Amino acid sequence: MVRVTVWGENVHERTEEHVRAIYPDGMHAAIAAGLDEVLGGAVQVRTATLQEPEHGLTATVLDDTDVLTWWGHAAHDEVDDVVVERVQDAVLGGMGLLVLHSGHYAKIFRRLLGTSCSLRWRNEGERELVWTVDPAHPIAAGVPHPIVIEAQEMYGEHFDIPAPDELVFVSSFSGGEVFRGGCCFHRGRGRIFYFSPGDQDYPVYHHPAVRRVLANAVLWAAPGAGGHGGAADSPNAPRGWFEA
Amino acid sequence: MVRVTVWGENVHERTEEHVRAIYPDGMHAAIAAGLDEVLGGAVQVRTATLQEPEHGLTATVLDDTDVLTWWGHAAHDEVDDVVVERVQDAVLGGMGLLVLHSGHYAKIFRRLLGTSCSLRWRNEGERELVWTVDPAHPIAAGVPHPIVIEAQEMYGEHFDIPAPDELVFVSSFSGGEVFRGGCCFHRGRGRIFYFSPGDQDYPVYHHPAVRRVLANAVLWAAPGAGGHGGAADSPNAPRGWFEA
Amino acid sequence: MVRVTVWGENVHERTEEHVRAIYPDGMHAAIAAGLDEVLGGAVQVRTATLQEPEHGLTATVLDDTDVLTWWGHAAHDEVDDVVVERVQDAVLGGMGLLVLHSGHYAKIFRRLLGTSCSLRWRNEGERELVWTVDPAHPIAAGVPHPIVIEAQEMYGEHFDIPAPDELVFVSSFSGGEVFRGGCCFHRGRGRIFYFSPGDQDYPVYHHPAVRRVLANAVLWAAPGAGGHGGAADSPNAPRGWFEA
Amino acid sequence: MVRVTVWGENVHERTEEHVRAIYPDGMHAAIAAGLDEVLGGAVQVRTATLQEPEHGLTATVLDDTDVLTWWGHAAHDEVDDVVVERVQDAVLGGMGLLVLHSGHYAKIFRRLLGTSCSLRWRNEGERELVWTVDPAHPIAAGVPHPIVIEAQEMYGEHFDIPAPDELVFVSSFSGGEVFRGGCCFHRGRGRIFYFSPGDQDYPVYHHPAVRRVLANAVLWAAPGAGGHGGAADSPNAPRGWFEA
């Protein structure tokens, strides 16, 4: 049973009618529903939002979370640095993290990657095609090639990220741009997956193939047994300290 | 149930008494027993050797194999190129492959990697320490840090391989050398793991931690569901050929 | 002074009039002229073709070559395995290699990479846009973003290669496909660059930005000083063999 | 002419006599002298220290710096966050960065990498051997295999960093530990090299091979011409915005 916390900024949904029309209970609710739909009893999903105390991400919640998903856009700056640091520590300790769409500019993503995470964009409802470039990757399992998303915001290169540890998907847009929109990173003991499809203006989180990708990514990012050797705080190691 | 075929060159064991003393039924038998011991009912293990027709690696056997392990040393040249090509095709199609110790010079390994796979060596029974450099990797699960192997052949850098897709273990030896002895490669849809501990002159395949590594690697290398997008033979793709 | 050998299969140019109209002296001549044009006195360029004895790639020629470029399509099978092995050894020893367009299926490329190197394709003269995804890479220096190629054969994913050590360019096509068309690989001491634009049916090798990419790649792939540590044939290493 | 700024924390040298005996003008002076010694007229070297206003790293200084080297240990916390952010921006914009030894815990390194950068250590003056695992890498040019450092602090795995983009050196120590001590990272347009040899208690920065490595790394990290495509701040991109 993978314990998932779906975090939503929850601003557009409350302030813009056309977004509410697509996501009446918020984007986080749609994302959570998608995980439930695809994974059923294999996951236990809860949601948390910016507006809750500590943004709903207390130490207790994080301790109880295997994989956290993150959607933000309008209010990145309102996320408390204390919470960001807490999430970073959790990821380095092994919690999985899915960063979605405009979350590329979230404090947590920039802090984990170290780069500006900037990109090019255009919001004209273009068709996005999401191509699998690593067909044996578990996140690509059962995903159409390509995923066809009729209307999306364009995200284009250059995307200022470190070279991904695994590149799974590359998108093209009607206007001709390309984007490395499905990227895996390993940081500390944690697995991070960035997935670009998913703007508030389009019903992308109702798209079955997008739901499938997110479900696959949750399973991929969930912490496994792992091995010895991690050291949180640079211990002095006398000769023969060897761990059994 | 992961179907494993343990392939052994089976020359030293038949021609050298001190090897037979350590591996009375051959190294392949010890490797197979180790997988059974650790994984029990999760695997179905059979063995095959150089001396069998088609080296025991007929198309039928490979079709029925999820993960193949390969140990060779004295007779790399006697492996039929037809079988090598068959194994390569199977790996590219998704079969996992574990290449062990002196298998670094096996035709199949060099063909999949494209480099000379040369290294430095010295056989003086030195202590090898196997350190985990990627503690969250599933192949490192439950593995001591370091693995202490009292007596081993030294393998040292430079090891002429492509940069591994994932580097899991690095060894040191009493004489001071280091070696990237636990390396993952992805080729086609297949996963390849090279693990250096394991000479015919030492009882390395009876070592519980080595057995644990091999068992972990079998589970890691077993083919998963995977996605669309693989194309064996460069098909012409008319506009709108998109796969569902 | 970088010594370049431009190798051309030289079949289409001799047998198809519309190709000869674009490349009257052969594609290899156009590629060589492009390198001269961009790099002037910094390179010394010669050409070699399939039809010459040993395909023009004698041991003497390779010894005298810093970077080899390879274009082939119709006659991959006619390339002698002895020559392929000689080129492979030269690359592992440090010679740079540029593999162009349909060269993805050349014996030398498949042998160095170990995978099928298959892809999807469609020849309808579509517009190709070549996007830089690694803007600090020397091969991208002075290259427009994107390169606009009015008419090209489409090459699309999945491209069955190992994950590139460095991914520099990704293309999109009018039909919507994407392709990892600018990929760096390191094998042995050699640097390999694959660049997909360049079909015989289109004047791609006259395109100034394509010429710039190839010139940059020649400079990037040329062997540098390098360090110790390479070992061609697995020497026995007594204690204290250390190199100065 | 590569413009180098050698930054030193400059605390141990002023407060501990045995360090001053080894580095009478500070470790930064020894590092700077080493670069001058190896590279002569090819570099212009200046130094800066923690104690100067803005730690000597004003915007003007950084604008005038191609490569910055960083040594710190006792006073990481005293480095002003404003300066750290300024250095990070400079690196993402293309400035090279060499992080040395205990600088693994410097704010700038952790911020660029996103991980804890913790490791194991023991200060008993053990012999360190630095092995080249990527002999064709320019940073390994002319470097002995291995570098023998008679007395050093031990740094051991697990080193909690992202997988390096290029792994150049791996060390072993008398006590048996190994360490990925020569690692390259690409972040934004900048190149980062971490090199572990170099404690304040030992004359490591007078060692000719260590000086050679640092000189090679300065040349490697210096910004080149580069290409288009970088975007500092996510510009809106109307259809047809293409850059020439």
D166 contacts B180? CB cut-off 8 A: no
**Range D174-209 burial, b when 16+ CB lie within 10 A, else e:** bbbbbbbbbbbbbbbbbbbbbbbbbbbebebbebeb
Percent of chain C's residues with pLDDT above 70: 96
Average pLDDT over residues D84-96: 96
Confidence band for C240, pLDDT divided at 50, 70 and 90: confident
pLDDT in tens, B16-57: 999 999 999 999 999 999 999 999 989 999 999 999 999 999
Residue C152 φ/ψ, nearest 5 degrees:
-155, 160
From the list D94, D138, D143, the residue facing C224 with the nearest CB is D138
Is pLDDT at D74 greater than 70 in this prediction?
Answer: yes
Distance, CA of D149 to CA of B207 (rounded, Å) = 34
Percent of chain D's residues with pLDDT above 70: 96
pLDDT in tens, C38-53: 999 899 999 999 999 9
Any chain B CB within 8 A of the CB of A53? no
Question: Which of the residue ranges A9-23, A127-141, C230-244, D154-168 would you say has the lowest mean pLDDT?
Answer: C230-244
**C171 chain-A contacts, CB cut-off 8 A:** 178
pLDDT value, residue A235 = 87
> What are the C-alpha distances in Å from C50 to residues B128, C7, C109, D161?
50, 8, 16, 48
Selected for mutation to probe chain B from A131, A148, A166, A242 (highest B CB count within 10 Å) is: A242
Q: Which of D146, D203, D192, D143 is nearest to D170 (CA)?
A: D146
**CB neighbours of residue A42 within 10 Å:** 14
pLDDT value, residue B235 = 87
Average pLDDT over residues B182-199: 97
Touching B (3+ Cβ pairs <8 A), the chains are A, C, D
Burial of C54 (0-12, 13-18, 19+ CB in 10 A): middle
**D230 chain-C contacts, CB cut-off 8 A:** 135-136
Selected for mutation to probe chain B from D172, D186, D196 (highest B CB count within 10 Å) is: D172
pLDDT value, residue C244 = 67
C167 contacts A163? CB cut-off 8 A: yes
For residue B198, what are the contacts with CB-CB under 8 A and spacing of at least 6? B27, B71, B100, B101, B204, B205, B210
Q: Which of A179, A205, A212, A182 is nearest to A194 (CA)?
A: A182
A234 or D169, higher pLDDT: D169
Any chain A CB within 8 A of the CB of B18? no
Q: Model-level pTM?
A: 0.97
pLDDT value, residue C234 = 85
pLDDT value, residue B224 = 85
Burial of D238 (0-12, 13-18, 19+ CB in 10 A): exposed
**D230 chain-A contacts, CB cut-off 8 A:** 158, 160
For residue D132, what are the contacts with CB-CB under 8 A and spacing of at least 6? B157, B158, C227, C228, C229, D140, D143, D145, D146, D168, D169
Residue A110 φ/ψ, nearest 5 degrees:
-65, -35
Q: How far apart are the first and last CA of chain C?
A: 29
pLDDT value, residue A14 = 94
Average pLDDT over residues B157-179: 97
Domains of chain A by start residue, with CATH: 2-114+181-221 (3.40.50.880)
Tokens of B50: 């150089």
Selected for mutation to probe chain C from B101, B123, B178, B187 (highest C CB count within 10 Å) is: B187
pLDDT value, residue A102 = 98
Q: Are the C-beta atoms of residues A109 and A181 closer than 8 Å to each other?
A: no
pLDDT value, residue B84 = 98
Per the DSSP assignment, residues forming a β-bridge with A102 are none
Distance, CA of B210 to CA of B149 (rounded, Å) = 9
- How many angstroms separate the CA of residue C88 from the nearest CA in chain A? 26
From the list C127, C133, C178, the residue facing A158 with the nearest CB is C133
pLDDT value, residue C61 = 98
Q: Which of D172, D222, D173, D171 is nearest to D193 (CA)?
A: D222
A101 or D227, higher pLDDT: A101
C235 or B65, higher pLDDT: B65
Q: Are the C-beta atoms of residues D57 and D88 closer than 8 Å to each other?
A: no
Distance, CA of C27 to CA of C207 (rounded, Å) = 13
Q: Are the C-beta atoms of residues C127 and C153 closer than 8 Å to each other?
A: no
For residue D8, what are the contacts with CB-CB under 8 A and spacing of at least 6? D26, D27, D28, D29, D31, D47, D48, D49, D50, D71, D72
Any chain D CB within 8 A of the CB of C190? yes
Q: Chunked in runs of 10, what are the mean pLDDT values of chain A (244 residues)?
A: 97 96 97 97 97 98 97 98 97 96 98 97 97 96 96 96 98 97 97 97 97 98 74 81 78
Instruction: Give chain D's mean pLDDT.
Output: 95
C94 contacts D227? CB cut-off 8 A: no
Distance, CA of B50 to CA of B66 (rounded, Å) = 19
Q: Which of B171, B140, B137 is nearest to B154 (CA)?
A: B171
Task: Count contacts between B and C (CB, < 8 Å).
Answer: 107
D170 contacts B178? CB cut-off 8 A: yes
pLDDT in tens, B128-140: 999 999 999 999 9
Is pLDDT at D244 greater than 60 in this prediction?
Answer: yes
Q: Are the C-beta atoms of residues A79 and A54 closer than 8 Å to each other?
A: no
C186 contacts B105? CB cut-off 8 A: no
- How many angstroms separate the CA of residue B147 from the nearest CA in chain C? 22
Burial of C146 (0-12, 13-18, 19+ CB in 10 A): buried
pLDDT value, residue C232 = 63
Task: Count contacts between B and D (CB, < 8 Å).
Answer: 62
Q: Are the C-beta atoms of residues C159 and C178 closer than 8 Å to each other?
A: no
pLDDT value, residue C233 = 79
**D239 chain-A contacts, CB cut-off 8 A:** 122, 124, 175
pLDDT value, residue C241 = 86
Confidence band for D8, pLDDT divided at 50, 70 and 90: very high
Helix/strand/coil for C228: coil
Instruction: Give chain C's mean pLDDT.
Output: 95
**D236 chain-A contacts, CB cut-off 8 A:** 120-122
Average pLDDT over residues C203-223: 97
Distance, CA of B179 to CA of B155 (rounded, Å) = 6
Distance, CA of D142 to CA of C227 (rounded, Å) = 5
Q: Are the C-beta atoms of residues B120 and B156 closer than 8 Å to each other?
A: yes
From the list A146, A167, A178, the residue facing C131 with the nearest CB is A178
pLDDT value, residue D110 = 98
Selected for mutation to probe chain A from B132, B165, B220 (highest A CB count within 10 Å) is: B132
Is pLDDT at C227 greater than 80 in this prediction?
Answer: no
Any chain A CB within 8 A of the CB of B104? no
Average pLDDT over residues B230-243: 79
What is the CA angle B242-B96-B244, rounded to 5? 15
D234 or C183, higher pLDDT: C183
Any chain C CB within 8 A of the CB of D92? no
* Closest residue in chain A to residue B190, using alpha carbons only: A136
Alpha carbons within 13 angstroms on the beta-carbon side of residue A136 total: 25
**A95 chain-D contacts, CB cut-off 8 A:** none
Selected for mutation to probe chain C from B239, B242, B243 (highest C CB count within 10 Å) is: B239
Residue type, A29: A
DSSP collapsed to 3 states, D181-243: EEEEEEECCEEEEEECCCCCCCCHHHCHHHHHHHHHHHHHHCCCCCECCCCCCCCECCCCCCE
B187 contacts C115? CB cut-off 8 A: yes
A158 contacts C170? CB cut-off 8 A: no
From the list A113, A114, A235, the residue facing D120 with the nearest CB is A235
Tokens of B48: 């095959």
Burial of A63 (0-12, 13-18, 19+ CB in 10 A): exposed
Strands A120-132 and A96-100: unpaired
CB < 8 Å from D in window 131-170 of C: 131-146, 148
DSSP single-letter state for residue D176: S
Confidence band for B226, pLDDT divided at 50, 70 and 90: low
